[in-house]
Amino acid sequence: MMNKRMQEGVRLAEAFLSTPRISFSEIKPSELPDKPGVYAIFCRDTGETLYVGRTKNIRQRLYKQHLNGTFSNARLKKYLVEDPEETTILDNAAAKQFLLNSCYFQYVVEEDTMERGRLEGLLSYLFNVRYMYEEH
């Protein structure tokens, strides 16, 4: 039997999974919310979850940083370039092209900081994320 907290976790995961899939190649910044939330980035070809994150601004994080940012503010690009299994992704431009050609994301708006942290952890566990950054 699930307790109330476990039921809430299942509800949050199901709500997240029911959100639209948005391809990086079809991203329209004006259609992304300027709000806090949690997001996951997936590889279209394999279905693998590459990255899960939380942010204070979904539009800025996904469009300006992950897609168009440099290694200093787009960790996923850095991970892709440094991944020995990704032999064709050698620099920031190739990582951006990979996102455009092969990746999509889903997100959910969540105003509460604590809930964002919980949801990020839950989704990271459930989706068996490839790139997890070390605690600091």
Domain presence at residue 82: yes
Q: Residues 48-78: pLDDT tens digits? A: 999 999 999 999 999 999 999 988 888 899 9
Whether the full predicted model's pTM is greater than 0.85, yes or no, is yes
Domain presence at residue 108: yes
Domain presence at residue 133: no
Domain presence at residue 131: no
Instruction: Please report which confidence band the pLDDT of residue 136 belongs to, taking 50, 70 and 90 as the band edges.
Output: very low
DSSP letter for 87, please. Answer: T
| Domain around 79 | 4-28+39-116
Q: Let me know: does 38 contact 105? Beta carbons within 8 Å.
A: no
Domain count across the chain: 1
| DSSP 3-state of 72 | coil
Cα distance between residue 49 and residue 127, in whole Å:
6
Task: Tabulate helix, strand, coil % of the chain (nearest 5).
Answer: 45, 15, 35
